[in-house]
Amino acid sequence: MMKKFLILLAMLVAVAVLADSVVAAEAGAKPAAATMEEVDLDEAAADMEDEDYDDEDGGITLDFVINAIPAALLIDMSGNNFGLESAEGRSTASSVYMMPNISVGIGADVNEKVYLDALLGVGVVVNESLRSFFAQATVSATFAASQSLNIGPRIGLIQFMGTEWLDDEALLDEVDFDDSTGLMLGLQIVMGDRIRYLVNIDYITMDFDADLPAGVTADNNGTLEVEGLAVQFGVRGEF
């Protein structure tokens, strides 16, 4: 908008100088200096138009992207209240998990209006009952709400592995779980410039099938189902 205003202003000045030259010519004055000023202003206006055109066609810029998320909270809202039981007692899974993770990948800035990224990452989901390591692949598309704020959807697959029950009761610490794949769908909010603040709000679903030793029983046919909302806070670099 400012460039268009300057172009308009330059054109108005050029018209004014031309009119002044005509008046000066009619009065017998020499308009050579005015003519030179008019040419210079026309060239400046043309340069501004070229720059404005170049800005509108910014193209695609590729970045190396890293997301570091030390604070992530997953709340299980499935209501299944999964538990394990042995002769020594019963242990029930907590519904609140921590989920720190880190991801790296490639980002593409499209005309400074849309930012696309594809990332691979690793992390751990853990509480006092359960621990599982995971690898994840995510893609997102965020849209520029302002110069320093991008908002948009993201989707991902999560591969859980090495899942263990952490209770120290007799036999319960021998319970393991099969590897499983989860789904993540949510909203990504990015704030700031090169080093940016990151907020992800995701719906996550995953199932863990328990391998039970003799003498241990499990609720829900031995399947721990987690389905809930994850809120993740971290920092993001785009280089």
Span 109-151, pLDDT tens digits = 999 899 999 999 999 999 988 999 999 999 999 999 998 999 9
Measured distance CA(181)–CA(206) in Å, rounded? 7
Q: Are residues 28 and 45 in the same domain?
A: yes
| Predicted local confidence at residue 55, as pLDDT | 45
Q: Are residues 43 and 114 in the same domain?
A: no
Confidence band of 81 (pLDDT split at 50, 70, 90): confident
Q: Copy the structure tokens of residue 54.
A: 């170049």
Beta bridge partners of 237: 66, 195
Q: Are residues 49 and 125 in the same domain?
A: no
- The string of pLDDT tens digits covering residues 200-222 is 999 999 999 999 988 899 999 99
Q: Which residue has the higher pLDDT, 196 or 42?
A: 196
| Predicted local confidence at residue 13, as pLDDT | 41
| Predicted local confidence at residue 7, as pLDDT | 43
Q: Are residues 31 and 121 in the same domain?
A: no
Residue 229, pLDDT above cutoff 60:
yes
Q: What is the CATH number of the domain that holds 107?
A: 2.40.160.20
Q: Are residues 67 and 49 in the same domain?
A: no
Closest Cα to residue 152, out of 139, 170, 137, 165?
139
Residue span of the structural domain in which 147 resides:
60-238
Q: Are residues 123 and 143 in the same domain?
A: yes
Give residue for tokens 């995510």: 138
Q: Are residues 170 and 146 in the same domain?
A: yes
Q: Which residue has the higher pLDDT, 169 or 20?
A: 169
| C-alpha R_g of the chain | 31
Give me the number of domains the chain comprises: 2
Q: Are residues 44 and 72 in the same domain?
A: no
Q: Are residues 113 and 11 in the same domain?
A: no
| Contact assessment for residue 102 and residue 94, using Cβ atoms and an 8 Å cutoff | no
